[in-house]
Chains A and B, each alone.
Chain A
Amino acid sequence: MNVRSLSAVRQRSARLHSMSRRQFVRTTGATIAGGVALGSGVLGPIRAQAAAFDDPLPIPGGSPSLGGAFHVYGPSPTGFLDPINAEPSSITNFNGVVGLAYIDGWVTQTSVSSGEWHRYPFVASDMRFMQGVYRGVDGKPRQGTFGFI
């Protein structure tokens, strides 16, 4: 993810959380199935897959800048999303190595069919990994490696 872009969402997120549910739906254009609760990730693009017994669990909290609804923090020296000492891991019940980096560079985008190409910067691309022991859905400790892309 792009942390700077996430910070740009802060203002929108604050507006969304001050809205009624109806206003939220109208604003985002999101489609809500009848009866689902407005909560963590419910309105977001959810992966359509069943949880496996060894799947990791998300950290319980989330960035206040994003309304707390998303289970992630974005620590940074400037605090543009969260303070520098915020939690870097996205999984909980974890004991291991975590790496986090916000990386800038350039990328070339090419259309395979037409050959047309463009150059774009990538800014603060958020890349993380977590490797170690974790307790997942079944609560049993096991080794795992996870990427945050």
Chain B
Amino acid sequence: MNPGIAPSGLFWTTRLGANNVGGVNPGAGRAVYQAVDVPIMDFHNIPNALFGGGDPPVPGFVSFEVRWSGTDDRVNLKNPAIGFAGEYVRGQAQMQWTARVGDLHYVSDPIETSSSEFAQLGHERNGSFYP
């Protein structure tokens, strides 16, 4: 499930409101990212989401809450080849979510039962803002 790829190539990225992100404290590794009923498409699998050619996607809506916490590591990155720089904190994140796609309703287990394989939060500058 994702918002799809825009004609510009913008990848699975959608516009949200300022209030969809809160409690941001990159230095402390804390942020909350939440939204309700974001339109998405269920492409059924990743190859179909990337390349198409499979079953037609089904429209749906997803709601979620993601929480970052912890400061396991701090890194400063500057990559002139790619053109981005930033200061990031690596820690943990958890999520709970629901979705509706056609006849199917998805409800995740409570947020405290989830875990992250990788989580980072930071301040980044790229493109015309690259230092």
Contact = CB atoms under 8 A, between A and B. Distances in A.
Given A30-B53, A57-B8, A107-B106, A5 B45 contact: yes
Nearest to B24: A97
B109 to A, nearest CB: 5
Given A41-B9, A103-B66, A104-B116, A97 B41 contact: no
B114 to A, nearest CB: 4
Interface in A86-104: 86-104
B120 A100 contact: yes
Interface string A27-50: 011110000000011011111011
Interface in B19-38: 20-21, 24, 26, 31, 33, 35, 38
Contact of A94 (B4, B5, B11, B126): B126
Interface in A5-62: 5-6, 8-9, 12-13, 16, 28-31, 40-41, 43-47, 49-51, 55-62
Nearest to A103: B95
* Majority-rule SS of A interface residues: mixed
Interface residues of B, number: 81
Contacts of A56: 10, 13, 15
B118 A77 contact: yes
A130 B86 CA distance: 13
A47 B5 contact: yes
Contacts of B54: 29
B48 A45 contact: yes
Most-contacted residue by chain B among A12, A60, A105 (CB, 10 A): A105
Interface string B30-58: 01010100101101011111111110010
Interface of B: 1-18, 20-21, 24, 26, 31, 33, 35, 38, 40-41, 43, 45-54, 57, 62, 64, 66, 68, 75, 77, 79, 82-84, 86, 88, 93-97, 103-109, 113-129
Given A87-B79, A107-B108, 8 more contacts: A28-B51, A44-B49, A46-B6, A93-B129, A103-B117, A106-B113, A113-B103, A127-B93
